[in-house]
A and B are shown apart, each in its own frame.
Chain A
Amino acid sequence: MKILVCISHVPDTTSKINFTDGDTKFDTNGVQYVINPNDEFGLTRAMWFKEKQGASVDVVNVGGPETEPTLRKALAIGADSAIRVNTEAKDGFAVAKELAKVVTDGGYDLVIAGRESIDYNGGMVPGMLSELVGANFVTNCISLEVDGTNAKAVREIDGGKETVNTSLPLVIGGQKGLVEESDLRIPNMRGIMMARKKPLNVVEPIGANAETAANSFEKPAPKGAVKLVDADNIDELINLLHNEAKVI
């Protein structure tokens, strides 16, 4: 089985979010980048397939040279090779089109992406990719088993979960549950050394057009101070929620 894991290069979850150039660009100053958490669950599940069932695992990112340390980390975790499509990730559709070329050229059976990235939260790349390459698609995926060309997946739905049967070729939008938090791997020194020697292939983009553009950014208005209510005066809290906030 040939597996491709899509890796987004995103600001660490603890990052302070600021903008520059008149609020038109994300301020990368002092920001640490990581593998998108949803993608890391998928990568770890892919490693499980490689080790238990036999599979090759490649990782891919659409982005500039600055994303290579994130791809190297994925190699250090255990991926066999990496591909970087050398273009700025303009919007979800443009990224999906670039990825579609990589999937078709590489003949991948299973593509695992995160259900969304934690920077733009669009949640659209995996679904669009599946349509573009004509593969089956399951998102919010919290469990995945593959047997030959058949697959069984569990999808989180509002208020529960749903078990589905499907087949390869398949695109997954993964999240926590594909593996547990405790299964995530921190690259060890040997992994890091080996990752340096693994192939990281830079491919040129097809030049897909973006359909959307984030022209400017805003931060939420600053909050007023919290109103503290005495622990012995719960009636006051109920009064405030009813008469002031009007939420009960």
Chain B
Amino acid sequence: MSVLVYTESENGKLKKAALECVSYAKAIANDMGTSVTAIAINANDVDTLGNYGADKVLNVKDDALNPFNAKKYAGVIEQAAKKADSKVVVVSSSADSKYLAPLLAVGLEAGYVSNVVEKPSSLSPFTVKRTAFTNKAFANTEISTDVKLVGLSNNSFGLVESGGSASIEDFSPSISESGVTVESVDKAAGKVTIADAEVVVSGGRGLKGPENWGLVEDLAEVLGAATACSKPVSDLGWRSHSEHVGQTGKPVATNLYIAIGISGAIQHLAGISASKVKVVINTDPEAPFFKAADYGIVGDAFEVVPVLTEKLKAFKAQNA
């Protein structure tokens, strides 16, 4: 019996969230007195998984698994879980992992809890803490099935290096048919995504128009950050829906969230509340965001942000 963790990769490279999931699986395995098995699909750097706590890697290389397909991937992970006789399976909160997890749950007859933010508080009954009501609360949730499927929130557990090494085993599962085929993928190369970012710079209506988004983009570039926006901005068509963060948009759980010209509607604050440090820049000292933020500047974004960008550039150069 081993804790199984699905380690997601992109273009052959393991994602940071995958390493976080391995760190998390290792913590559970330690409590259970068992080992960690990682399942990797078309990843080239699986050697690194041992350092985060994997004891064994089931290494799958198959062109039939490229590009991602939820049904096929769920089938592969299910076979890995059965091979490792796993009672606990861990996946991340990426778009792809959240797509495959419900299919995997049915296949494994596993109770599934998503958006988990901590190590299980108890193994019997198996109880995990998850976010609910779009980060306005947490729910301590018990899983009563024999096999448990845990979806870990990104950036909630962190990376823990154990300095170990893993044995790598080639694994050739059977690959199921899928009624969904990818026609095309439209993804900007090299751009940091909101899901993977450690820093997000977000703009609101206070920026007055899409032509002023250079302010946000320049600051994001200096910080290696993803860009995001408030709901009114995406509703007005200034920015794409995919940048809308908040209760009906994307949730954000970054280390640093910088809000520029966003007043802080309750739905927006809920969506970003899992972020660790929040900075707000707004002309209106009464803006609700100031109550949710850690640091704030009352001031005109058009004056403050360019200075911040320049000074951060100098800071980064000095500390590089």
Which one of B56-64, B99-107, B163-171 is at the interface?
B99-107
The residue in chain A whose Cβ has the minimal distance to the Cβ of B99 is A139
Which one of A50-58, A59-67, A78-86, A211-219 is at the interface?
A211-219
Given A121-B132, A165-B183, CB of A226 within 8 Å of CB of B280: yes
Given A128-B102, A242-B315, A245-B277, CB of A17 within 8 Å of CB of B196: no
Given A121-B131, A159-B193, CB of A137 within 8 Å of CB of B180: yes
Which one of A101-109, A193-201, A227-235 is at the interface?
A227-235
B296 to chain A, nearest CB (A): 5
0/1 string, A113-155, CB within 8 A of B gives 1: 0000011111111111011100011111010000000001001
B271 to chain A, nearest CB (A): 10
Interface residues of A in 20-46 (CB under 8 A from B): 37-38
Chain B contact residues: helix, strand, loop or mixed: mixed
A184 to chain B, nearest CB (A): 11
The residue in chain B whose Cβ has the minimal distance to the Cβ of A230 is B297
Most chain A Cβ neighbours within 10 Å, of B131, B141, B244, B247: B141
User: Does A162 make an interface contact (CB < 8 A)?
Assistant: yes
Most chain B Cβ neighbours within 10 Å, of A138, A216, A247: A247
CA distance A119 to B247 in the complex (A): 10
CA distance A163 to B107 in the complex (A): 26
CA distance A181 to B234 in the complex (A): 10
CA distance A223 to B296 in the complex (A): 14
- Quick check: A92 and B112 within 8 Å, CB to CB? yes
Chain A contact residues: helix, strand, loop or mixed: mixed
0/1 string, A61-97, CB within 8 A of B gives 1: 0000000000000000000000000000001110010
Q: A161-B187, A223-B292 are in contact. List 17 more A-B contacts (CB 8 A).
A: A17-B136, A93-B105, A118-B248, A122-B114, A127-B103, A136-B179, A160-B187, A163-B185, A164-B182, A212-B111, A212-B142, A212-B144, A223-B294, A226-B291, A226-B293, A227-B295, A241-B277
User: Does A240 make an interface contact (CB < 8 A)?
Assistant: yes
Interface residues of B in 51-103 (CB under 8 A from A): 67, 70-71, 94-96, 98-103
- Quick check: B140 and A211 within 8 Å, CB to CB? no
User: Does B308 make an interface contact (CB < 8 A)?
Assistant: yes
- Quick check: A176 and B298 within 8 Å, CB to CB? no
User: Does B124 make an interface contact (CB < 8 A)?
Assistant: no
